[in-house]
């Protein structure tokens, strides 16, 4: 697993040399932010999955600040936010709305408005109005879904990493 991630993620030195990151360079020098171990990668995935449901361009900012604060792998946490995109965000928000309906026990008295036809000049405004029609169940369901995805991602990485290590141990003893 370590080889897979180390070949695909940017290196510590490359990021630290970026002149735009000069004001926060001292926060980026902690070794755990760049180290590929089971705890750090699992924490990075959990943070990325949690922050992936934050609306707008704040996903990666939130993931970066949480990764620096909790000292887990920074590149993994940033990459894990990419599961949300224009194709997946609407189904995820609808799932969060359904979770919110289940938790609050509110029945939908008024039908959810049709998803708007998005245009380049006012698409964000139409999308925002549509999200506001979803209301309280969405605001309750989003954090629940985010925490659920984070826990699922964290334990999935931990188990997958452990299974990969066990497989390597067995494969090594078979060759001996």
What is the C-alpha to C-alpha distance for residues 19 and 9, in angstroms, rounded to an integer? 19
Residue burial 156-170, b: 16+ Cβ < 10 Å; e: rest: ebbeebeeeeeeeee
- Other Cβ atoms closer than 10 A to 145: 22
Q: By the 8 A CB rule, do 38 and 162 touch? A: yes
- Calculate the average pLDDT of the chain: 81
pTM for the structure as a whole: 0.74
Backbone angles phi, psi at 18, to 5 degrees: -65, 125
Residue 28 has what pLDDT? 67
Per-domain boundaries in the chain: 2-175
pLDDT exceeds cutoff 80 at 31: no
């Amino acid at each position: 697993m370590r080889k897979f991630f180390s070949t695909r993620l940017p290196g510590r030195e490359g990021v630290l040399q970026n002149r735009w990151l000069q004001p926060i360079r001292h926060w980026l020098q902690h070794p755990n932010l760049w180290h590929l171990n089971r705890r750090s990668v699992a924490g990075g995935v959990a943070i990325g999955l949690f922050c992936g449901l934050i609306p707008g361009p704040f996903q990666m900012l939130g993931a970066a600040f949480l990764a620096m604060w909790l000292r887990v792998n920074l590149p993994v946490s940033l990459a894990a936010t990419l599961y949300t995109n224009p194709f997946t965000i609407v189904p995820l928000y609808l799932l969060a709305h359904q979770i919110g309906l289940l938790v609050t026990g509110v029945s939908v008295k008024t039908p959810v408005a049709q998803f708007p036809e998005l245009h380049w000049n006012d698409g964000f405004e139409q999308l925002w109005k549509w999200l506001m029609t979803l209301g309280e169940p969405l605001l309750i369901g989003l954090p629940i879904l985010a925490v659920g995805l984070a826990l699922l991602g964290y334990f999935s990485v931990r188990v997958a990493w452990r299974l990969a290590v066990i497989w390597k141990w067995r494969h090594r003893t078979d060759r001996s």
